[in-house]
Structure 1
Amino acid sequence: MAEDGLTRDGATDFRNECCERLAYYGINTNLVNYLKFELNQSNVVAVNNVTNWSGTCYVMPLLGAFLADAYLGRYWTIASFSIIYVFGMTLLTLSASIHGLKPSCDRANVCHTTGLQTSVFFLGLYLVALGTGGIKPCVSSFGADQFDDSDEDEKKKKSSFFNWFYFSINIGALISASVLVWIQTNVGWGWGFGIPAVAMAIAVVSFFSGTPLYRNQRLGGSPLTRMCQVLVASFRKFRVEVPDDKSLLFETADHESAVMGSRKLDHTDQLSFFDKAAVETPSDRLKGSANQWKLCTVTQVEELKSITRLLPVWATGIIFSAVYSQIGTLFVLQGNTMDLRMGKSFEIPSASLSLFDTISVIFWVPIYDRAIVPFARRFTGHKNGFTQLQRIAIGLVISIFAMLVAGTLELVRLREVRKHNYYELKHIPMSIFLQVPQYFIIGCAEVFTFIGQLEFFYEQAPDAMRSLCSALSLTTAALGNYLSTFLVNIVTDMSTRHGKPGWIPDDLNHGHLHYFFWLLAVLSVLNLGFYLLVARWYTYKKAVVSSD
């Protein structure tokens, strides 16, 4: 590795992620407004379509991770799915540019769409989701693979890699929230989708240009098959007693584990039922070789244990992701009702306020890396300042305040509406920049929780399951978006009974959006309590240290 910890291939990884996130946020940041004003959808339908699509973007990585770990490797998975991504972006651009594919709008600026136009748009949208599925679980792991875990200096720099990797994500998001949203609002959606399509194409070319420099990890075979083998073997031997001497459990005598591309894992005492799979009995061998559906190695058993131990921590990320999803949905709709003027003539698009979330991340990442970590290290003695679980917890606490602030702002806004009878005004005289604190607080929470999750799931993943575990961490974002959709549907159904406008009507001046934000705050408090219990009992994985 180079002296700064980043080879040219590492720099390529940052550039690629910056361009890919520019493309993703170029769609996501202002998508709710496109659906509302161009496809003429209601607030609830538009919000749910955004969160459903975002959720799909983050659940598809399970497919990409499986292919990467078992068959293609991270390099070829990124390469092939990037091409699908570019194709989807191209289709979106055409759907917003070509006559007959883009919606037609009347003189009152009310747009009307045909079934074909809607279908082409959503086809492009979900092709992007598929492309994301192959890139997201691999790109952070692929970048981290460029560091040698056996070298203590490189291992320390790998922690910084995740900070700066997330920094590059937010550079792309910053350009999207500022430049692209303005272009979409004031120039046209064709240009607004076309520019990120070109950026993504550049990212693909950049990725291929670094091919000779990459360090590629060996494939470890299908992780799902190995986990199934442990489950089957454990249940087959449910009557078998596990010996007190754990050195009697089955493991290969070779220096490397039986799982290609993976170090051996030491035995841990938790989830001891799975240890039955590594207890050798006379019927476990067929013609001298072990039947893998009857007898598994300790490393294979510990792989399943590692994944199982991750699940409670993983589950606590769902509520946080539901909070984060408000940036691209209800925060934007809330901003639409406020004074968008900046100066006498310029109007800032409501979706552009998300740049303050990005600015917050860009502000906090170097401060965390250069100031908070050295300061915390004095008190904790931990090389990274905080453990990964402590870092995640701090972000969960901060996210609660984001929802409290957003709810309080909406309560103040509604009081102004009632006090001055602003019910019929499209934009009430309250500056949209009053939303800045809620965006900035969420950005701060991201630096702790999202980056902490990235590093935690990579470090705690078995070597041959790192793409799968990266995908697993991303599914919290998927389920968080789906949870947001579910909550919006539930509160809409319950709050619109007996002819009431509900919490989230098309005209928010008649709604109670603050109740929804406060509901998320309450759920976040409960989630934090559960997380603290989970973190207290978590056991970190133990890789066998080489004697060489």
Structure 2
Amino acid sequence: MAEVAEMYTQDGTVDMKGNPAVKKGTGNWRACPYILANECCERLAYYGMSTNLVNYMKTRLGQGNSVAANNVTNWSGTCYITPLLGAFLADAYLGRYWTIASFMTIYIFGLALLTMTSSVKGLVPSSCDDGNGACRPTEPQTAAVFVALYLIALGTGGIKPCVSSFGADQFDENDEGERRSKTSFFNWFYFSINIGALVASSVMVYVQTHVGWGWGFGIPAVVMAVAVASFLFGTPLYRHQRPGGSPLTRIAQVLAASSRKWSVVVPADMSQLHERLDKESGIEGSRKLEHTDQFRCLDKAAVVTSGDRTAASPWRLCTVTQVEELKSVARLLPIWACGIVFATAGGQMSTMFVLQGNTLDPRMGSNFSIPSASLAIFDTLSIVVLVPVYDRLVVPAVRSRTGRPRGFTQLQRMGIGLVVSVFSMLAAGVLEVFRLRAIARHGLYGARDTVPISIFWQVPQYFIFGAAEIFTLVGQLEFFYDQAPDAMRSLCSALSLTTHALGDYLSSLLVTIVMRITTRHGELGWIPDNLNRGRLDYFFWLLAVLSLINFLVYLLIASWYKYKKTADFPDPKGEQEHSSD
């Protein structure tokens, strides 16, 4: 029997036909190259068409600065809302493989249509003059662009929350060697993302600026086709986790049961609460969770009454683990909310940073000019350079002082990133002050006047924010994965992604409010179409202040948070410390 057990995975994964997965023929590193290549190509396609999108809105759709910036942030925000749909379908019904495969088809259609809007006669505005950028698209032409963009947004919804988890499914949690490999997989997965982003923010932006939008969007479409082919080619090798049922149903059951028993008194002895007696939690793919004292009102759902003994129903009586699932999600929400302002600041790299760079001197030598959107490459380079520094130097140094395997706790790591992001906004504001002084000194108030300041002075603000991402974004991904209930990890991963969406929406709201207030009495406002007559520095100061306030609120929330504990296994990484440690 032991030999038979060694042949198959012990974490419940199955092969494509639904049979127990054979270790030697499926999963592990043999399946990962196809998943990593898929992620690298998908991210290259996504960033390749989105990094310079604000300039496409201006030149081809004839939109002003604030309108173009809002359209981009609204679309980008939607790309981070749709993962909630994809994660729910994957966890509850389709499984991760079929969710990814289905939504990639929608993605391809969106990219193909976007390519057509920039290259097919009738979809390209006939009034476009590439010499001066004057375009007057018709309503159907504009509508076609937005249909394409929102098809892409829907397509990303099934990919973003599932690919990393699907890759992790290829490693058996109950096999010590494969469990170690799973940690290495996440490192390579993050590396793949940044390789795709690096190529997109350099090569693709150059193609769009100097060759044309048809090629600039066509290449990402072809690359996405390669991503689909790579993913499907590895199909025989994949291991699959069966969908475990709707997590929203389990949450609703706890809320319904606790509401019905609102007048019931929770016993002082927590062992009297309802829980399965065997080792299993009763929830597919989930370990048992220990009882916690926070949100005690939800414990009423696990109190056994006389009615429950005669007619037990999950809508009247829930297990402690099921109650603790909801508690875990509830504890995550305040931490999640603190990521919204951070995402708002990060959204400026594809909007206000690009618009600021459009006014600076783009020359690099005598024969080459760098597009302003390409400066985003320094955010990616910051991550590529500083991740090894953090992993090899910072973590060991901090570990020697704290004794924790990760060095910083997850909450401390995210908090450091929130502080660092403030300095990125300050750097952008300081550059804007010097830019405005140069404008006044040389009288460069025309909309097309180039300020004699090198665009490379924007590098610090990009590089600093990249450092902030290493702490906050990577820490956030790890935190939401570790602290989410086992059977709700896809949904909680998608939840963490929504901070980007709400951050983009908040950015649009801030721009709208700022322009409405600052354009009263006939004033141009802080962010006019001609930035040489605006006060973009005030907008960066506003973001710096909001980021600082957000960090102070985060400190209060982090001091209240308690790390999740499972009943079956104490934390193998030894990181279940209280957040105040």
Structure 2-normalised TM-score? 0.91
Could you say what secondary structure the match of 1:430 adopts? strand
- 1:439 is aligned, of 437, 449, 462, to 462
- 1:519 is aligned, of 527, 542, 545, to 542
In 1, Cα distance between equivalents of 2:557 and 2:296: 18
Contact 1:167/1:365 (8 A) holds in 2: no
In 1, Cα distance between equivalents of 2:175 and 2:268: 35
Could you say what secondary structure the match of 1:347 adopts? coil
Could you say what secondary structure the match of 1:242 adopts? coil
In 2, Cα distance between equivalents of 1:377 and 1:210: 39
In 1, Cα distance between equivalents of 2:139 and 2:306: 64
In 1, Cα distance between equivalents of 2:478 and 2:376: 25
Indicate the RMSD between aligned Cα atoms, in angstroms.
Answer: 1.7
Q: What percentage of residue pairs aligned between the two structures are identical?
A: 65
Could you say what secondary structure the match of 1:518 adopts? helix
- 1:223 is aligned, of 237, 240, 247, to 247
In 1, Cα distance between equivalents of 2:545 and 2:215: 41
Q: Which residue of 1 aligns with 2:560?
A: 537
Could you say what secondary structure the match of 2:453 adopts? coil
Deviations 1:160-213 (A, max 9, x none): 543432222111111111100010111111111111111111111111222233
- 1:48 is aligned, of 51, 58, 70, to 70
Q: Which residue of 1 aligns with 2:368?
A: 346
Give the superposition deviation at 1:6: 6.3
Give the superposition deviation at 1:17: 1.4
Moved more, 18-27 or 400-409: 18-27
In 2, Cα distance between equivalents of 1:108 and 1:201: 34
Q: Which residue of 2 aligns with 1:494?
A: 517
2:219 pairs with 1:192: no
Give the superposition deviation at 1:255: 2.0
2:511 pairs with 1:485: no
- 1:145 is aligned, of 169, 172, 191, to 169
In 2, Cα distance between equivalents of 1:76 and 1:185: 37
Amino acid at match of 2:530: D
Deviations 1:74-115 (A, max 9, x none): 111111111111111111111111011112213644112111
In 2, Cα distance between equivalents of 1:158 and 1:381: 23
Amino acid at match of 2:231: F
1:294-443 matches, within 5 Å, as 294-424=316-446, 425-443=448-466
Q: Which residue of 1 aligns with 2:17?
A: none
In 1, Cα distance between equivalents of 2:245 and 2:404: 35
- 1:84 is aligned, of 106, 113, 117, to 106
Contact 1:162/1:451 (8 A) holds in 2: no
Q: Which residue of 2 aligns with 1:201?
A: 225
Question: CA 1:383/1:156 → structure 2, altered by over 3 Å: closer, same or farther?
Answer: farther
Contact 2:116/2:214 (8 A) holds in 1: yes
Deviations 1:321-372 (A, max 9, x none): 0000000000000000000111112111110011111111111122222332
Contact 1:63/1:134 (8 A) holds in 2: yes
2:520 pairs with 1:471: no
Contact 2:60/2:133 (8 A) holds in 1: no
Give the superposition deviation at 1:512: 0.5
In 2, Cα distance between equivalents of 1:431 and 1:523: 29
Give the superposition deviation at 1:218: 2.7
Contact 1:159/1:384 (8 A) holds in 2: no
Number of aligned residue pairs: 543
Question: CA 1:432/1:108 → structure 2, altered by over 3 Å: closer, same or farther?
Answer: closer
In 2, Cα distance between equivalents of 1:348 and 1:475: 32
Could you say what secondary structure the match of 1:137 adopts? coil
Amino acid at match of 1:531: Y
Give the superposition deviation at 1:150: 4.3
In 2, Cα distance between equivalents of 1:151 and 1:245: 37
2:287 pairs with 1:271: no
Q: Which residue of 2 aligns with 1:246?
A: 270
Contact 1:285/1:291 (8 A) holds in 2: no
Q: Which residue of 2 aligns with 1:456?
A: 479
2:56 pairs with 1:71: no
Contact 2:75/2:150 (8 A) holds in 1: yes
Contact 1:64/1:135 (8 A) holds in 2: yes
Give the superposition deviation at 1:157: 5.1
Q: Which residue of 2 aligns with 1:507?
A: 530
Could you say what secondary structure the match of 1:532 adopts? helix
Q: Which residue of 1 aligns with 2:236?
A: 212
In 2, Cα distance between equivalents of 1:148 and 1:395: 32
- 1:233 is aligned, of 232, 257, 279, to 257
Q: Which residue of 1 aligns with 2:46?
A: 24
2:163 pairs with 1:130: no
Give the superposition deviation at 1:373: 2.0
Contact 1:163/1:365 (8 A) holds in 2: no
Give the superposition deviation at 1:54: 0.4
Question: CA 1:50/1:511 → structure 2, altered by over 3 Å: closer, same or farther?
Answer: same
Contact 1:163/1:369 (8 A) holds in 2: no
Could you say what secondary structure the match of 1:265 adopts? coil
Amino acid at match of 2:392: R
In 1, Cα distance between equivalents of 2:431 and 2:31: 45
Give the superposition deviation at 1:159: 4.4
Give the superposition deviation at 1:474: 0.3
Give the superposition deviation at 1:254: 2.7
In 2, Cα distance between equivalents of 1:382 and 1:286: 49
Q: Which residue of 1 aligns with 2:205?
A: 181
Q: Which runs of 5+ in 1 are unaligned?
A: none
Question: CA 1:501/1:351 → structure 2, altered by over 3 Å: closer, same or farther?
Answer: same
Give the superposition deviation at 1:153: 5.9
In 2, Cα distance between equivalents of 1:206 and 1:504: 44
Contact 1:167/1:361 (8 A) holds in 2: no
In 1, Cα distance between equivalents of 2:136 and 2:297: 60
Could you say what secondary structure the match of 1:429 adopts? strand
Contact 2:110/2:149 (8 A) holds in 1: yes
Give the superposition deviation at 1:13: 2.5
In 2, Cα distance between equivalents of 1:487 and 1:431: 28
In 1, Cα distance between equivalents of 2:169 and 2:388: 22
Contact 1:22/1:172 (8 A) holds in 2: yes
Question: CA 1:546/1:376 → structure 2, altered by over 3 Å: closer, same or farther?
Answer: closer
Question: CA 1:537/1:146 → structure 2, altered by over 3 Å: closer, same or farther?
Answer: farther
Deviations 1:460-487 (A, max 9, x none): 1111101100010000000000000000
Give the superposition deviation at 1:158: 4.1
Contact 1:257/1:264 (8 A) holds in 2: yes
Could you say what secondary structure the match of 2:361 adopts? coil
Give the superposition deviation at 1:60: 0.6
2:29 pairs with 1:7: yes
Contact 1:162/1:455 (8 A) holds in 2: no
Give the superposition deviation at 1:14: 2.2
Moved more, 342-351 or 206-215: 206-215
Q: Which residue of 1 aligns with 2:18?
A: none
Deviations 1:238-295 (A, max 9, x none): 11111111111111123211111211111111111111000011212555xx211100
